[in-house]
Amino acid sequence: MRFDENRLPYREVPGDLNVADPDLIAVIAGERHLLFDGAMGTMLQRAGLAAGELPELLCLSDPQSVTAIHRAYVEAGSEVVTANTFGANARKLGAAAPVDAVFEAAIACARAAGPRWVAADIGPLGALLRPLGTLSFDEAYDLFAEEVRAAERHGADLILIETMADLLEAKAAVLAAKECTRLPIFVTMTFGEDGRTFLGTTPEAAAIALPALGAEVVGINCSLGPAEVAPFAERMLEVSPVPVMVQANAGLPRDEGGVTVYDIAADPYADAVERMVEHGVAVVGGCCGTDPSYIAALRAKIAGRTPLARAVAPCFAVTSAQNVVVLPAGSRNVAVIGERINPTGKPRLKDALRSGDMDYVLGQAIEQAEQGADLLDVNLGLPEIDEPALIARAVETIQGACPLPLVIDSSDLEAVEAGVRAYAGKPMVNSVNAKDESLASVLPLVRHYGCAVVGLTLDERGIPATAEERFALAEKIVRAAEAAGVPREDVVIDCLVMTASTNQAQVVEILRAVSMVKERLGVRTVLGVSNVSFGLPQRPVLNATFLAAAFGAGLDMPILNPASPRYRDAVAAWRVLNAQDGESRQFIERYASRQDPYEAPRATDGSGGKEARGAASAKGHSGAADPFDVRALVISGRRGEVPAAVEAALDDAEDPLDVMNGMLIPALDEVGDRFEEGTFFLPQLMASAEAAKVGFDLVKERLRAQADGVDGASAAKGALCLATVKGDIHDIGKNIVKMLLENYGYRIYDLGRDVAPEEVLRCVREHGVRLVGLSALMTTTVPAMRDTIDLLRREAPETKVFVGGAVLTQEYADQIGADAYAKDAAAAARIAERFLVERA
């Protein structure tokens, strides 16, 4: 575990920073303005620095010039000068100079100019983090940690983390500064005209997540001119509990005679910044295109002023990198937590987790987002898995493609930390309870990572029966949270739903407890709604009724399956009644033309089952084959018509496997041949594979029903592991192969892209895989393919390897020692057949 209570408590106490200067303390408290400097890069380029040269090296080679720039800013009135260390990380400096030496020189250059304070400048690493890029969170953290340690060692007064576009990268930097130094942390992000960073973060998300994590000041730099930045600053001011900082560019860049110039002069710049100061911005300076004249103009504007006193009403807020879920103080707004990423009672998810199939987990996330969830609960608790590793992988995968804030749900503290640490945003932790041991272990972690937390009203004696007793436990949790530094608004109480079939009397007690907690403690509440109906018929009816009652009692965040239309109806209706759905607009849009489900249905749209026979043939594709000719339907990729045909075939067949081996597989083979000879192109091959998949799923269902849960179909054909090799991020080819092979009935362990050789070996060993498929797009990553093959040859010599990818040829495949070359997905299917089926 990275988080060590014994090592870290000092940064947990506000004011226990290494700041003695009362003026800097006043800045952090929002009671004093602070004037930074302007651009360094602009000044250096004016002095002849080449684009792409490392400006940080000038601190070593030409310290006088650097100091001269700092001095000009000090003379113009900068209280803080920013040391020339923006890109002084080991990744960018490479062999040019050691990080520590650059920080030492840069801070000395800054200090020599005689400023009141020196900020160590920490810019982005220049590489995108996983999963969109290839840099891991830990690598990013280590790079930042090296920088901030050097900054503190050489006497910087504060850390300025700036020009961040990725909230996750900013978080790595803030955590490094918080865990490795005692310096105050100022952090600014850069936004585009659309009010988002390149990675989609909004000013609100930044201003909620970064202070929660421990930033003393949060803000905006670079981006645009002050006029364009002003509305973003306004948005930060509305939610930020800490002082807000702005260092804008000198307007928008413009092409003038082949040179980029900025279009706002010093005085209008200062005027525009002054308006932001009037609205509450406390810390100011400049970015690209600004020079000492801008700082002099700003100095005149803030001289003799104190920052506007701001009061941000505390409220529940969590974020992802893109989305913010806020329940404003005093509002009755509700937010829905999707519950489906939880293996309890879900064999398909269990199977996906055991085989590391993150695509399935991500699919569940995306579906729930489409069904209206606002947050997602992520619970991966299975006895035989490495939960911390799996939860880290799941969080990384989900946050790369699904924008909903996450609730990290585990009883394993290490898994919770693995989930929240590399999470891009402010997550919620599920859960702490009123047991002393739980409070003592969970709350410090919640505080350290700046999370919200679910508190369960149970203790050493179990779940109490009455509302009063539940309330008492909730009160205990809230008190303990506040004592641990977790503010009340970040605590969400779960009064724990009991089943009506066994504890009928308790249901109304639970609702009463919700009301009491809400009214007397002023905290938000959460309930796992569907628990109420276990063991009773028509569960959705009970669930939806209970949900409506719970909303009335004050429930803020139901945990439920958003696929249920009854739940969705109750939520949509409640959002009219609680005035969250302004002017009932969304309700009207969604329900105005909808039929009352209790009225007799006018028509069915005949999906599945034997009734569909007529419907399928009535669709009447011109020149269509017999609608029950499975083979023809698969070949022509008519996914929608496959279920009826396959069901019919299954009904007629003695063994479901006959449908698979006699119809679906031959159809795919035929498609493969057509692809081979060029009469089909790739999308047609894939459309057929999609259609076949629908059929395979039905066959498997039958097999499962017959064999009582044994998944005979995929077990029969063998397993293989697929990976796009280390350094390569182009995985579209690998994904196509995966799809086709899955449809042939193989079990696929998909390791994703940028996969280290050791990962492949681990998978081979763990799952006893005999065939590995590797892909690489670029010539530059083919060596990684060779490394992977070499490792497998040494450590698992019985494993066969086939390779594919744009630059590969049979000759190349032979050179690197592969057993086979797959020039396309159809070829991969034949290779799998050769190695896995014929030998079996």
Partner 1 sequence: MDSCRHVDIALPPHTLSARIDRAEMLRYLGYAGQEITGELAERIGRIAQTCEDALAPRGTARCFSVVPVPGAPDVAPAIDLAGTTVRLRGKSAFLHLKDARFCAVLACTLGAESERRLRALAATDPLGATLFDAACSAYVEAGTAALEAEVRARAERAGYAINWRFSPGYGDLPLNVQPDLLAALDAARGLGITCTSSNMLVPSKSVTAFVGLFDTAPASADAPHPCSLCRLREACSLRARGVTCRGAGEGAL
Residue that is written with structure tokens 């055991």 in the block? 354
- Residues sharing a CB contact under 8 Å with residue 567, sequence separation 6 or more, in sequence order: 336, 529, 540, 543, 544, 547, 558, 560, 561
Choose between 528 and 783: whose C-beta lies nearer to partner 1. Answer: 783
DSSP state, residue 584: G
- Residues in contact with partner 1, total (CB under 8 A)? 75
- Determine the interface stretch with partner 1 among 31-39, 507-515, 541-549, 677-685 (rule: CB under 8 A): 677-685
Displacement of CA 604 from its chain's centroid (Å)? 40
In the complex, least distance from residue 224 CB atom to partner 1, rounded to whole angstroms:
11
Position among 706, 732, 762, 765 found at the interface with partner 1 (CB under 8 A): 732
Residues 88-147, interacting with partner 1 (CB under 8 A): 124, 126-128, 131-135
Choose between 139 and 658: whose C-beta lies nearer to partner 1. Answer: 139
And the tokens for 696? Answer: 């395979």
Residues 802-821, interacting with partner 1 (CB under 8 A): 806-809
Q: Does 222 bind partner 1 (CB under 8 A)?
A: yes
How far is 331 from 553, CA to CA, in rounded Å?
14
Q: Does 372 bind partner 1 (CB under 8 A)?
A: no
- Determine the interface stretch with partner 1 among 101-109, 412-420, 647-655, 674-682 (rule: CB under 8 A): 674-682
Residues 599-658, interacting with partner 1 (CB under 8 A): 636-638
List the beta bridge partners of residue 219.
188, 245
Choose between 15 and 258: whose C-beta lies nearer to partner 1. Answer: 258
Q: How many CB atoms lie within 10 A of CB 823?
A: 14
How far is 425 from 643, CA to CA, in rounded Å?
42
How far is 351 from 415, CA to CA, in rounded Å?
19
Position among 254, 305, 762, 839 found at the interface with partner 1 (CB under 8 A): 254
Q: Does 781 bind partner 1 (CB under 8 A)?
A: yes
- In order, the DSSP letters of 243-308 are -EEEEE-SS-EEEETTEEEES--HHHHHHHHHHHHHTT--EEEE-TT--HHHHHHHHHHHTT--PP
Residues 194-213, interacting with partner 1 (CB under 8 A): 198-200
Q: Does 779 bind partner 1 (CB under 8 A)?
A: yes
- Determine the interface stretch with partner 1 among 311-319, 432-440, 453-461, 729-737 (rule: CB under 8 A): 729-737
How far is 332 from 690, CA to CA, in rounded Å?
44
Q: How many CB atoms lie within 10 A of CB 776?
A: 30
Residues 350-369, interacting with partner 1 (CB under 8 A): 358-360, 362-363, 366-367
Choose between 527 and 630: whose C-beta lies nearer to partner 1. Answer: 630
How far is 790 from 514, CA to CA, in rounded Å?
61
- Determine the interface stretch with partner 1 among 344-352, 380-388, 415-423, 683-691 (rule: CB under 8 A): 683-691
- Determine the interface stretch with partner 1 among 253-261, 426-434, 438-446, 610-618 (rule: CB under 8 A): 253-261
Q: Does 373 bind partner 1 (CB under 8 A)?
A: no
Position among 13, 51, 95, 840 found at the interface with partner 1 (CB under 8 A): 51
- Residues sharing a CB contact under 8 Å with residue 778, sequence separation 6 or more, in sequence order: 728, 730, 806, 807
Residues 300-359, interacting with partner 1 (CB under 8 A): 358-359
Site map (CB under 8 A) of partner 1, residues 733-772, x = contact = --xx-xx--------------x------------------
How far is 787 from 499, CA to CA, in rounded Å?
56
The amino acid that residue 219 corresponds to is G
In the complex, least distance from residue 394 CB atom to partner 1, rounded to whole angstroms:
12
In the complex, least distance from residue 693 CB atom to partner 1, rounded to whole angstroms:
9
DSSP H helices, 554-662, are 565-577, 585-591, 612-618, 630-635, 642-652, 656-659
Choose between 296 and 777: whose C-beta lies nearer to partner 1. Answer: 777
Site map (CB under 8 A) of partner 1, residues 689-708, x = contact = xx------------------
In the complex, least distance from residue 723 CB atom to partner 1, rounded to whole angstroms:
14
* Listed residue (408, 476, 464) closest to 440, CA to CA: 476
